[in-house]
Amino acid sequence: MRRRLVDYFDRRSRPAPDLLADETFDRIARTLEESGFIKVTPPARYCYVVARFVLLEDIRAHRRSVPFDEARLTVRPGMPAAEAEDGTSQSLDCLSRCLDRLKPADRSLIVEYYRDAKRERINRRRSLAERLGITMNALGIRAWRLRASLQACVDACRKRA
């Protein structure tokens, strides 16, 4: 849920999506403390409703505080995402290590799924799904999860280094 909320705030171009997601959870936690339950079903909808309030408040607060020449800020400091561009060779090294750390079946899947992105991708993915006996969508989700875990592994590796 946190990831969904962060993505939501990020898509709405808020400068600190992580903080807004945390603020959303804080408010939900306060409600739970006070009333002991959430009336809205499914509870995820309640998360969205609270997140929407947090978003609107942030937009208003941002207007009041006058953006710091925002248009000229290529990437603002203090934002977790800017770490993307950290040392390239270190990043590649970490990526290679993280790939090697995957279970052989997972590594094989991710390599087969994403390799040669420019050509014959659909056919290759279709035959991969057939071999594994799963649908293309299930395959896509499995590959996406592996890729997300790789990205997390690379982030952790770079922090350690």
Partner 1 sequence: MMLRREPARDDDELIRYLLGELTDDQAESLDERSVVDDDFVARLRLIEEDLVDAYATGRLAGDRRTRFESFYLSSPRRLKRAVFAQRFLAAVDNAARDSPAPAGHGRAARWLPLTIAAAVVLSIGSGWMLVRDARLRTDLHETQQRLADADRQTARLFGELAQRTATAAPAPAQTAAPSVALVLLPQTRGSSVPPILAVGVESSTVTIELAVAALDRSPYQATLRDPATNSVLWRSDDLTARRAEPAPLVTVTVPAASLKAQHYSLELFTRRNGRTGDFVGGYPFQVLRP
Give whole-number Cα distances, 15 to 3, 86, 107, 120, in Å. 16, 20, 35, 38
Residues near partner 1 (CB under 8 A): 1, 4-8, 10-13, 17, 42, 44-45, 47-48, 51-52, 65-66, 68-69, 71-88, 91-92, 95-96, 99, 105, 107-108, 110-112, 114-118, 128, 131, 135-138, 140-141, 144, 147, 150-151, 154
Closer residue to partner 1, CB minimum distance, 35 or 137: 137
Shortest distance (Å) from residue 128 CB to partner 1: 7
CA torsion sign for 142, 41, 12, 18 is negative
User: What CA–CA distance (Å, rounded) separates 26 from 93?
Assistant: 38
H-helix or E-strand containing 21?
Answer: helix 17-35
Q: Judge contact between 48 and 12, C-beta under 8 A.
A: no
CB of 56 to partner 1, least distance (A): 11
Min dist. Cβ of residue 59 to partner 1 (A): 11
Closest CB to partner 1 among residues 30, 108: 108
